[in-house]
Structure 1
Amino acid sequence: MENLAYTDDETQKQRIETIDGVIVMMLPRPRLEHTVISGRIFAEFDRYLRKKPCKAYPDGVDLFLDEKNHFIPDAMIVCDRNKITKRGVVGAPDLAVEVLSQTTAMYDRTKKKDIYEKAGVKEYWIVDGWGKFIEVYILTNGKFELNNIYYYLPAEEKAQLQSLPEKEQAQINKSAYGKIKVSLYDDLYIDLDDIFDDV
């Protein structure tokens, strides 16, 4: 796997990914909201994982899944420390996060999702910063299954939901609001307020 890293200085300065052997150029700098959201997700992972076997990584860390697929996830969790090298992560992370942008959304939802699945990534998040929701996919029998779609609700909308009659509240999927249960740990929950509030 040593030959997977790019060595040309100019190439390193550009944000590029390789998907099925095809180089895909990314915007040099993501929009502000994208950076804030990915940074907050990493911060929540990192805070929980301190002094634990798994390790969180932010945007900008190279991921080499195989010779044809080099990604730069917006955040990831790696539990096998043998996959961590000076140049990046070599092999499938346990959890990968992609925050959608206008230039990468199609790849994140299709080819990259399929490649993450094939590589054995246990959990995959697709984060929509415009709609403020997160799709969580869990690897089940070698295939990604949509576990849930989690929506951020501002305080006033939460209050409206809570004011509904009990019968109507019972029909609402309350697990889709509030906190995401991360499958890697029994007690790791990420509050959507901590990700999307004031973005």
Structure 2
Amino acid sequence: MSKITELSQLDLNQTYSYADYLTWQFDDALELIKGKIMLMSPAPNVLHQRISMSFSGTLFSYFHHKKCQVFAAPFDVRLYDRKKSILANKDIQTVVQPDLCVICRPELLDQQGCNGAPDWIIEILSPGNSKREMKIKYNLYQEAGVTEYWLVDPVHKAIHQLVLDDSGCYQIMKMVTDEDSIFPQLFPDLIIEVAEVFETWQAQQD
């Protein structure tokens, strides 16, 4: 098999596995969704990065010396139906790179990233990824069993908190703005002041 060193060598209509993904040797950022290649947006803008760093600092401090670990993109997360056991690379057809994820089961971690559903995922919306995060990834994370999923909307300075119910479906627990505080259902003592998450946005407007 010839080396894949350019995205143009791949057929975007073909279905690929994570085993294929590992052999590709090019710099284009992409995710694999149900075997289909999904090109990622260009590098996140400054506001996106500032919000990500704000969360990263808070979560790193909270989880330091705890069992759960926090990871920021780029970081491969392999997903599949939560009803299935851990799969081999050749059987996995979805790999995503959440902006931030918290993993409390060390057995899911290996040299490549996370093999299975993180406990908590945070995605920061941008013009290039809103549809993917709000629809495609919503369904992926629900199917895979990501217990808690936050969508962060920089434009409206809002956070949407979704949590799996007993039937395995997401329910909106909270929709908060920069006048509120919020905490993950999984870690109720982790209080996050929403205004602090978006303070860089306000600085840009002044």
Q: TM-score range by the shorter chain?
A: 0.7 to 0.9
The answer to whether the aligner puts 1:8 opposite 2:28 as a matched pair is no
Rounded to whole Å, the distance in 2 between the matches of 1:107 and 1:115 is: 10
Instruction: Using the TM superposition, give the Cα deviation of residue 5 of structure 1 relative to its aligned residue in structure 2, in angstroms.
Output: 4.8
Instruction: Using the TM superposition, give the Cα deviation of residue 152 of structure 1 relative to its aligned residue in structure 2, in angstroms.
Output: 0.8
Cα pair 1:126 1:136 within 8 Å, conserved? yes
Residue of structure 2 aligned with 1:21, choices 25, 31, 35 = 35
CA-to-partner distance for each residue in 1:104-150, whole Å, 9 max, x for gaps? 11111111101101111110011101111110001102000000111
Residue of structure 2 aligned with 1:49, choices 63, 66, 70 = 63
Rounded to whole Å, the distance in 1 between the matches of 2:178 and 2:44 is: 21
Alignment of 1:134-173 (within 5 A): 134-141=159-166, 142-153=168-179
* TM, length-normalised to structure 2: 0.79
Give the equivalent residue in structure 1 for 2:74. 60
Rounded to whole Å, the distance in 2 between the matches of 1:72 and 1:63 is: 6
Residue of structure 2 aligned with 1:187, choices 186, 189, 193 = 189
Amino acid at match of 1:145: Q
Helix, strand or coil: the match of 1:77?
strand
Rounded to whole Å, the distance in 1 between the matches of 2:59 and 2:20 is: 27
Amino acid at match of 1:187: D
Helix, strand or coil: the match of 2:128?
coil
Give the equivalent residue in structure 1 for 2:153. 128
Rounded to whole Å, the distance in 2 between the matches of 1:136 and 1:16 is: 26
Cα pair 1:55 1:77 within 8 Å, conserved? yes
Helix, strand or coil: the match of 1:198?
helix
Rounded to whole Å, the distance in 2 between the matches of 1:139 and 1:63 is: 19
Amino acid at match of 1:80: R
Cα pair 2:178 2:195 within 8 Å, conserved? yes
* TM, length-normalised to structure 1: 0.82
Q: How many residues align?
A: 173
Cα pair 1:4 1:64 within 8 Å, conserved? no
Amino acid at match of 1:120: G
Instruction: Using the TM superposition, give the Cα deviation of residue 4 of structure 1 relative to its aligned residue in structure 2, in angstroms.
Output: 6.6
Give the equivalent residue in structure 2 for 1:87. 112
Rounded to whole Å, the distance in 1 between the matches of 2:130 and 2:42 is: 16
Helix, strand or coil: the match of 1:24?
strand
Cα RMSD (Å): 1.6
Structure 2, unaligned stretches of length 5 or more? 1-16, 81-91, 202-206
The answer to whether the aligner puts 1:114 opposite 2:130 as a matched pair is no
CA-to-partner distance for each residue in 1:35-83, whole Å, 9 max, x for gaps? 1111211221111000111001112111111312111100010000111
Rounded to whole Å, the distance in 1 between the matches of 2:44 and 2:28 is: 12
Give the equivalent residue in structure 2 for 1:157. none
Give the equivalent residue in structure 1 for 2:130. 105
Inter-CA distance 187–103: structure 2 relative to 1 (3 Å threshold): same
